[in-house]
Amino acid sequence: TYVVTDNCIACKYTDCVEVCPVDCFYEGENMLVIHPDECIDCGVCEPECPADAIRPDTEPDMEEWVEFNRKYSEMW
């Protein structure tokens, strides 16, 4: 899965939301998040993010971000 990280805070762009083929972006409190179970790992959103906030969970120490994204995508 891909996850949104804190570079997203205060970013006003939604290019990532528009390109996602499965519509798995959600609004968090002050940033967007990706539902980790709905993301199909296509990677299309990553280069669209001008803030470089979208990272694959295969990078080190991403477990907390995965849980953060899950929490806020299931909150509403």
Rounded alpha-carbon distances, angstroms, from residue 71 to 2, 23, 68? 15, 17, 5
Residue with Cβ nearer ligand SF4 (9 or 48) = 48
Residue with Cβ nearer ligand SF4 (31 or 39) = 39
User: What character string, x for contact with ligand SF4 (CB under 6 A) and - otherwise, covers 6-45?
Assistant: -------------xx-x-x---------x----xxxxxxx
What gap in Å lies between CA 70 and CA 7, rounded to an integer? 17
Displacement of CA 43 from its chain's centroid (Å): 11
Can you give the binding site for ligand SF4, defined by CB under 6 A? 2, 19-20, 22, 24, 34, 39-45
